[in-house]
């Protein structure tokens, strides 16, 4: 896979240091995968929500940068549907809902197999660089 999203992900040490893999990114869509490691589990023995957010945010970033211009998050929110646990393989799928001017809206679903773990909505802004 080549393209602007892959180039951005290649330089994303934060995501890569957590073992996040970019599976696809093109045309306003992206899919990323991460396994929950012992370092990601909180005091309740479930995955810390910040790591779920980071996985979703990575898929979001790759989707909104798949078009080419440098695009950043203008805001985002997440709803946790169920807990993720140690060893779970999570897959985040981002889909563009709309782009208008320099703005965009993207939805990301984080799944464990067929089960929805979290829903994320991100708002993007294309910037001049």
pLDDT tens, the chain, 129 aa long: 678 899 899 999 999 999 999 999 999 999 999 999 999 999 999 999 999 999 999 999 999 999 888 999 999 999 999 999 999 999 999 999 999 999 999 999 999 999 999 999 999 999 976
Sole residue written with tokens 């898929």: 59
- pLDDT value, residue 50: 97
Q: What is the pLDDT of residue 77?
A: 98
Q: What is the pLDDT of residue 69?
A: 87
List the structure tokens of 44.
């309740």
* Contact in structure between 3 and 66 (CB atoms under 8 Å): yes
Q: How far is CA 72 from CA 31, 63, 67, 87, 128, in A?
A: 17, 11, 12, 30, 11
- For 71-108, b/e burial (b = at least 16 CB within 10 A) is beebebebebeebbeeebebbbbbbbeebeeeebebbb
* pLDDT of amino acid 68: 85
Structure tokens given for 106: 């993207």
The domain 4-126 belongs to what CATH superfamily? Hotdog Thioesterase (3.10.129.10)
């Amino acid at each position: 896979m080549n393209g602007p999203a892959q180039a951005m992900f290649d330089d994303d040490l934060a995501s890569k240091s957590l073992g996040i893999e970019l599976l696809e990114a093109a045309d306003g869509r992206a899919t990323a995968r991460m396994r929950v490691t012992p370092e990601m589990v909180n005091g309740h023995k479930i995955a810390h929500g910040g790591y779920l957010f980071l996985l979703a945010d990575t898929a979001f970033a790759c989707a909104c940068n798949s078009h080419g211009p440098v695009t950043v998050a203008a805001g985002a929110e997440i709803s946790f549907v169920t807990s993720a646990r140690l060893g779970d393989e999570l897959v985040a799928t981002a889909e563009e809902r709309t782009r208008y001017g320099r703005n965009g809206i993207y939805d990301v679903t984080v799944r464990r197999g067929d089960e929805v773990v979290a829903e994320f909505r991100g708002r993007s802004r294309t910037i001049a660089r």
